[in-house]
């Protein structure tokens, strides 16, 4: 099923769910009738037939084959390998190691330790104050 057909079917399903929902107003009934009339009309049948022909026809098969050829092409494979290598080089490079060391040093630093203690103390104080207010 093509993406466009999937989107149309999804829209149709959402529309029918909305129409079947708790809204029992006359406008909903009229909208439902109008949508069913459109779907059953000659134009609706022709549109469905055109979508089916496009999906199942020679053009649809050629498009699928073209996408598959593109995915399997040498250029795409080379691009994937190059991207993988670039990311590996970036991770393993001197700058990457320095950044990891800096983050590790920051986590282990005295300032971060003091901030953690201060945050714990502040939370404890807030809980204590809230408990006193509830008792009062």
Positive or negative torsion for Cα 61, 71, 4, 20: positive
Q: Which domain holds residue 105?
A: 74-136
How many domains does the chain fold into? 2
Residue where a domain stops, chosen among 72, 106, 127: 72
Q: What is the pLDDT of residues 79-128, one digit of tens each?
A: 888 888 888 877 777 877 787 788 788 778 887 788 888 888 888 878 77
Same domain, 65 and 80: no
Same domain, 87 and 28: no
The distance of Cα 83 from the centroid of its chain, to the nearest Å, equals 23
CA distance 47 to 53: 10
CA distance 14 to 19: 9
Same domain, 56 and 104: no
The distance of Cα 92 from the centroid of its chain, to the nearest Å, equals 30
Answer with the residue of higher pLDDT: 2 or 1: 2
Same domain, 123 and 60: no
Positive or negative torsion for Cα 8, 14, 20, 25: negative
Q: Is the pLDDT of residue 23 over 60?
A: no
Same domain, 79 and 68: no
pLDDT at position 1: 63
CA distance 105 to 110: 10
Same domain, 94 and 46: no
Same domain, 48 and 82: no
Residue where a domain stops, chosen among 72, 96, 113: 72
């Amino acid at each position: 099923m093509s993406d466009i057909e999937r989107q149309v079917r999804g829209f149709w399903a959402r529309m029918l769910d909305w129409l079947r929902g708790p809204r029992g107003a006359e406008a909903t009934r009229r909208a439902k009738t109008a949508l069913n009339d459109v779907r059953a009309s000659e134009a609706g049948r022709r549109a469905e037939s055109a979508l089916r022909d496009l999906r199942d026809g020679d053009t649809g098969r050629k498009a699928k084959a073209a996408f598959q050829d593109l995915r399997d092409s040498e250029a795409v494979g080379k691009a994937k390998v190059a991207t993988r290598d670039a990311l590996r080089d970036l991770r393993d490079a001197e700058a990457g190691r320095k950044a990891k060391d800096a983050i590790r040093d920051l986590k282990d630093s005295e300032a971060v330790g003091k901030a953690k203690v201060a945050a714990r103390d502040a939370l404890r104080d807030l809980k204590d104050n809230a408990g006193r207010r509830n008792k009062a």
